[in-house]
Amino acid sequence: MTGALEVRSLSVDLGGVPVVADVSFSLRAGERLGLIGESGSGKSVTALAIMGLLPEGMRAGGRVELAGEDLVSMGERRLSALRGDRIAMVFQEPLTALNPLMRVGRQVAEVLRIHRGLGRRGAAERALGLLGRVELDDPAGVARAYPHELSGGQRQRVMLAMAVACSPRVLVADEPTTALDVVVQDQVLSLVQRLADEEGSSLLLISHDLAVVARMCERVLVMYGGRLVEEGPTRDILSQPHHPYTAGLVATAAAVSSPSGARRPGSLPALPGSVPPLGRFPSGCVFRDRCWRADRSCEAVPQLCGRDHAVACWHPVGEGAG
Amino acid sequence: MSGTVPPLTRPSLPLAPAGEEWEEAPFWRRWLGSPSAVAGGVIVGAIVLAALVSLAWTPYPPLAVAPAHAFARPGPAHLLGTDNYGRDVLSRLMAGSLTTLFAGVVSVLIAAAIGVPAGLVAASRGGLASEGIMGLADVVYAFPALLAAIALAAAAGASTLTAMVAIGVAYMPVFARVTRSGALQVLSTDYVLVARSYGRSRAAIVRRHVLPNITPLLIVQSSLLFSLAILAEAALSYLGLGTPPPAPSWGAMLQGAQNYLFDDPLLAVWPGLAIALAVLGFNLLGDGLRDVLDPGLRARR
């Protein structure tokens, strides 16, 4: 059985500099999959590559299969027909995601008019229903409003309504709650989860926040330097991370959330160094310049190995020498 | 794991762009708040009014010759005096404002009709199409407009229309450039990316998202080009390449007046003043509209 979305050896380069390299994963039907990593690790570029929305200058290679069709080699016309209908995306920044000159209702209706061929009135009615489903208090009022009259949380709900309007098989959410405040974050996450369930959409949730992924996703992919370094069930990865990078992430997050160690400044464990700029990643294992376990063997690129819980590392944590 | 884990790397929150959240004052309030919009509106309004009134009424028929009253001084009978044929200057100025406005509207429309689509195609297609279109625009821009007007007048005969075509074509590159840069800015926004993510085609994005969002830019540019077009039409008429006599036109009146500059300098003053006022009015209006329609535009300039 193939998944809802099959990503095979996806790579993206920007003028010859690799941004994403050899990313393969499968998003199963109805699954909620997390993609986690620091800023600059290539998460968002991966999402844009899947959607065929890479900015000018970036080129994708490999395959992204949606129901047997390869999105990477697909023409723009066919891709437009699939986007919003079979595969949809929610972006990070809701404040600028809506056309400032169009009433919100009309923008939601637009999705239905494109893909369902609905007339103005029919689409407007369905849009109203969608705005209600994303738990907006006054759907009719929101539909009449211009984007600047809505709050960030309201706008992100509108974006969600647009994304699920056609019950897509795959919903890509790129940091959907990062720009929102904590209370709203929580509500929006619950909403994403509920809508994905109701529509039967598989969810690819991109985040840099372990807590968000832990709460939402059954499985998680860890990305660093444009490569997948670890993949597995969320519970396993959080309790027994194998890749030193993941281990560092988890330790940092755990220290911050534990009440005892949290308040003392300077006591937080941190990953040494920072993410290098694009094109400055080391050859071989991309993490080896920040890794305390690196040696000569790390000069070769490690492959993602393991069946259920896979890791791309020559010296995984917790196996052999801990 | 509790829900209070902060992100490892906290990205700086992207600020909403200036103007995104600002409370929008009513259009008329903003208009009245801009001195140049008010002044420009008054001047342009007066010219438009004069042109409209001239359709129905002028103090004297603008073409009526009365040699007996030639070179009359301004007075109660002829408010601005009469010219060498005894024609009433005020009447001719009023009728001439119609020619002037008509020339401005048509030449700006010609410029926009070619320049705006060209700019949109250049912005949305990019690559070779963009290079080709903008290259062509540069060539047209580099070609002396006056020479084009002379060539056109020689080929098709001097008329208001040939002058308008020459002016329109000459200003086409300005529209192409403004449109292209505005469109590129809109095309790089998040909401265009979102529109693509829900299946909007390129052409539909240009029509539904780009065009409405650059309309203020185009209105401002039209107003500024309008003043240049008025000046150009007057210049062409003065050179005999535009509106042919005896039809009233400010440029032609100026030319007629130059033979009597020492006998009756006022004859040159009136059309000159009218031209200067019209150009000033449309310039002020364009500047004012820039403030009124898009406060963010000033920062970007």
Give A108→chain B minimum CA distance, Å: 10
Give B50→chain A minimum CA distance, Å: 36
Mutation pick from B2, B5, B128, B297 vs chain A, by most beta carbons of A within 10 Å, is B5
Give B101→chain A minimum CA distance, Å: 31
Strands across the sheet containing A58-66: A17-27, A5-14, A58-66, A69-70
Question: Can you give the pLDDT at residue A250?
Answer: 87
Residue of B nearest to A39 (CA): B9
Mutation pick from A38, A78, A80 vs chain B, by most beta carbons of B within 10 Å, is A80
Q: Which amino acid is located at A166 in the chain?
A: C
Q: Residue B200: list chain A partners with CB under 8 A.
A: 80, 110, 114
Give A80→chain B minimum CA distance, Å: 4
Dist CA B278 CA B42 (whole Å): 11
Is residue A208 a contact partner of residue A36, using CB atoms and an 8 Å limit?
A: yes
Report residue B186 CA to chain centroid gap. Answer: 23
Mutation pick from A93, A96, A175 vs chain B, by most beta carbons of B within 10 Å, is A96
* CA atoms lying within 13 Å on the CB side of residue B94: 21
Is the pLDDT score of B69 beyond 80? no
Dist CA B97 CA B80 (whole Å): 15
Contact with chain B for residue A117, Cβ under 8 A: no
B3/A215 CB distance under 8 A: yes
Dist CA B57 CA A4 (whole Å): 76
Strand, coil or helix: B108? helix
Q: Which amino acid is located at A146 in the chain?
A: Y
Is the pLDDT score of B284 beyond 90? yes
B193/A53 CB distance under 8 A: yes
pTM of the model: 0.80
Dist CA B222 CA B189 (whole Å): 25
Mean pLDDT of chain B: 83
Report residue B287 CA to chain centroid gap. Answer: 12
B4 confidence band (pLDDT: 50, 70, 90): very low
Residue of B nearest to A262 (CA): B5
A84/B8 CB distance under 8 A: no
Q: Which of A76, A208, A211 sits opposite B3 (nearest CB)?
A: A211
Q: Which residue, B190, B193, B200, is CA-closest to A85?
A: B200
Question: Can you give the pLDDT at residue A46?
Answer: 95
Residue of A nearest to B3 (CA): A211
pLDDT in tens, A210-254: 889 999 999 999 999 899 999 999 999 999 999 989 988 888 877
**Options 1.10.3720.10, 1.25.40.10, 1.10.3470.10, 2.60.40.10; which CATH number does B40-54+86-300 get?**
1.10.3720.10
Question: Can you give the pLDDT at residue B85?
Answer: 78
Please give, one letter per residue, the 3-state secondary structure of chain A: CCCCEEEEEEEEEECCEEEEEEEEEEECCCCEEEEECCCCCCHHHHHHHHHCCCCCCEEEEEEEEECCEECCCCCHHHHHHHECCCEEEECCCHHHCCCCCCCHHHHHHHHHHHHCCCCHHHHHHHHHHHHHHCCCCCHHHHHHCCHHHCCHHHHHHHHHHHHHCCCCCEEEEECCCCCCCHHHHHHHHHHHHHHHHHHCCEEEEEECCHHHHHHHCCEEEEEECCEEEEEEEHHHHHHCCCCHHHHHHHHHHHHHHCHHHHCCCCCCCCCCCCCCCCCCCCCCCCCCCCCCCCCHHHHCCCCCECCCCEECCCCCCCCCCC
Is the pLDDT score of B171 beyond 50? yes
pLDDT in tens, B212-246: 999 888 988 998 898 888 888 888 888 888 877 77
**Domain residues of chain B, as ranges?**
40-54+86-300
Average pLDDT over residues A166-175: 94
Dist CA B142 CA B54 (whole Å): 38
Question: Can you give the pLDDT at residue A127?
Answer: 94
pLDDT in tens, B153-167: 888 888 888 888 888
Residue of B nearest to A250 (CA): B8
Residue of A nearest to B16 (CA): A95
A114/B199 CB distance under 8 A: yes
Residue of B nearest to A78 (CA): B199
A138 confidence band (pLDDT: 50, 70, 90): very high
Prediction ipTM score: 0.86
Taking every pair of Cα atoms in chain B, the longest distance, rounded to a whole number of angstroms, is 103
Dist CA B209 CA B183 (whole Å): 9
Determine the Cα angle at B247 with ends B244 and B252, to 5°.
Answer: 60
DSSP H or E stretch at residue B25: none
Average pLDDT over residues B52-57: 88
- In this structure, are strands A87-90 and A69-70 parallel, antiparallel, or unpaired? unpaired
Question: Can you give the pLDDT at residue B81?
Answer: 80
Question: Can you give the pLDDT at residue A296?
Answer: 85
B261 confidence band (pLDDT: 50, 70, 90): confident
Question: Can you give the pLDDT at residue B18?
Answer: 39
pLDDT in tens, A255-281: 776 655 444 555 566 677 777 887 778
B196/A82 CB distance under 8 A: no
Mean pLDDT of chain A: 88
B74 confidence band (pLDDT: 50, 70, 90): confident
Give A295→chain B minimum CA distance, Å: 26
Q: What is the C-alpha end-to-end distance of chain A, expressed in Å?
A: 36
A101/B212 CB distance under 8 A: yes
Chain B residues with a Cβ under 8 Å from any Cβ in chain A: 1-9, 11, 13-14, 16-17, 20-21, 24, 126, 189-191, 193-202, 208-209, 212-213
A238/B1 CB distance under 8 A: yes
Torsion angle of C-alpha atoms B221, B224, B226, B227, degrees rounded to 10:
-170
CB atoms inside a 10 Å sphere around CB B69: 17
Question: Can you give the pLDDT at residue B66?
Answer: 76
Q: Which residue, B67, B62, B66, B71, is CA-closest to B265?
A: B71
Question: Can you give the pLDDT at residue A268?
Answer: 61
B297 confidence band (pLDDT: 50, 70, 90): very low
Give B4→chain A minimum CA distance, Å: 6
Is the pLDDT score of A172 beyond 90? yes
Give A298→chain B minimum CA distance, Å: 25
Q: Which of B8, B11, B199 sits opposite A83 (nearest CB)?
A: B199
Q: Residue A76: list chain B partners with CB under 8 A.
A: 201-202
B149 confidence band (pLDDT: 50, 70, 90): confident
Q: Which of B20, B200, B212 sits opposite A114 (nearest CB)?
A: B200
Question: Can you give the pLDDT at residue B193?
Answer: 93
B6/A210 CB distance under 8 A: no
Q: Is the dihedral of CA A237, A241, A242, A245 positive or negative?
A: positive
Dist CA A87 CA A7 (whole Å): 14
Give B84→chain A minimum CA distance, Å: 56
Give A109→chain B minimum CA distance, Å: 11
Q: What percent of chain A has pLDDT over 90?
A: 57
Place of tokens 């020479």: B147
What would the DSSP string read from start to end of B206-262? IIIIIHHHHHHHHHHHHHHHHHHHHHHHHHHHHTTSSSPTTS--HHHHHHHHHTTTT
Q: Which of A93, A162, A209 sits opposite B198 (nearest CB)?
A: A162
Q: What percent of chain B has pLDDT over 70?
A: 89
Q: Which of B6, B17, B213 sits opposite A101 (nearest CB)?
A: B213
